[in-house]
Chains A and B, each alone.
Chain A
Amino acid sequence: PGLFPGLCPGWSPRAVPARGRKSRHDPPAKSKAGRVKLPPPVDPEELLVVLERYRQHRLVLSALRAEFRAEVLQRKREERLAAEGSVEELEEHRRLMAWNEEENARQQARREERLRKQEEEQKRRKLEIAEKQARKMEAFLEEKEKEVLQLQEEAKNFITPENLEARIEECLDNPRNYNFAIDKDGRIVKRTVLS
């Protein structure tokens, strides 16, 4: 190691002492009682130089890696954008949107047609009902008129206190014979004499 540089070529330095026979709980041997373990000697200038070189190397490497990473990402992004935002694509999109608008307009026309038809239908129905009502009212009024006229006609033949005497005399003077005979065939015979 550091004490005998180059004098033990076959000995490979170990970072961690290998635990051959003893476990970590076994006490160290008596021969190792005064052993002082020293870290390997370091040459400060060499150390500085080596550290500086490593620092620069790592700096350069990480910078290169970052550079390449960014380049790859940029390329991917550009490719994606080129695939998406190309002029033909936008054109296509606009055309499809226009077609969609037309489709919507057609549907709107159909809808308006349907609503118009529905409104017409409703109006027609309302008119029909109104007409029917009017006709009913007319018929009713006619009936009532007829009844009134009939009553007026009959009123002429009413018996009032004035012509009571005259009517009685009239009835007594003209006796009416209500008798009649009927046979099984339904023929009425009114030859019965009033007695």
Chain B
Amino acid sequence: MPMKGRFPVRRTLQYLSQGDVVFKSSVKVMTVNYNTAGELSEGARKFVFFNIPQIQYRNPWVQIMLFRNMTPSPFLRFYLDNGEQVLVDVEEKTNKEITEHVKKILGKSKEMLEKEERERKKLSHPATFGPKKYHLRECMCEIEGQVPCPAFVPLPKEMRGKYKAAMKNEA
């Protein structure tokens, strides 16, 4: 099965999860106006090609729209939920600079992300076991330090009901 597209690495989960721009919850729409030709839009083109998949992966609820060849100079526009619009001029900027800029003005800071991570962790207890959907392990036998599953390692005689019943009958 051949790989699809010019840079198929953009489709890998590892690449996508490497995106570090997580927008604040007030950002609803992101609009990119850029040109398909011209030296000035080069950074914007690279940004659209390489970084927007990462951003959309980390922010699945933000609507991203691309407009090509509508204005002479490239820019980004963010629409927040209180009606505010944020304009970012990206002429003559590399795509890395653009991501840094966007992360600085509208991205969640690292501390905030870590805090959210910790909150999410608090909801589930890692020591419990049960259905795979809610817990890490399904059976007690999977936990380290516990009796292994009798399907793989037979239990010692003394723990088996058969032996215990036989002993009781004997006595």
A interface residues, tally (CB under 8 Å): 11
Query: What's the Cα separation between A104 and B88 when bound, in Å?
Result: 7
Once the chains bind, are A97 and B25 in contact (CB under 8 Å)?
no
Identify whether the interface residues of A are mostly helix, strand, loop, or mixed.
helix
**Does chain B have a CB within 8 A of A138?**
no
Q: CB-defined interface of A105-131 with B at 8 Å, one 1/0 digit per residue?
A: 001101100000000000000000000
Once the chains bind, are B101 and A103 in contact (CB under 8 Å)?
yes
Residues of B within 8 A of A110 (CB): 92
Residues of B within 8 A of A84 (CB): 25-26
**Does chain B have a CB within 8 A of A140?**
no
**Does chain B have a CB within 8 A of A100?**
yes
Q: Smallest CB-CB separation from B80: which chain A residue?
A: A93
Query: What's the Cα separation between A110 and B26 when bound, in Å?
Result: 31
Residues of B within 8 A of A103 (CB): 88-89, 101
Once the chains bind, are B89 and A108 in contact (CB under 8 Å)?
yes
Interface residues of chain B, those whose CB is within 8 Å of chain A, are: 25-26, 73, 86-89, 91-92, 101, 104-106
- 5 A-B pairs with C-beta separation under 8 A: A96-B105, A96-B106, A100-B101, A103-B101, A111-B73
Given A99-B104, A107-B89, A107-B91, 12 extra CB contacts under 8 A: A84-B26, A96-B105, A96-B106, A97-B86, A100-B101, A103-B88, A103-B89, A104-B87, A104-B89, A107-B92, A111-B73, A111-B91
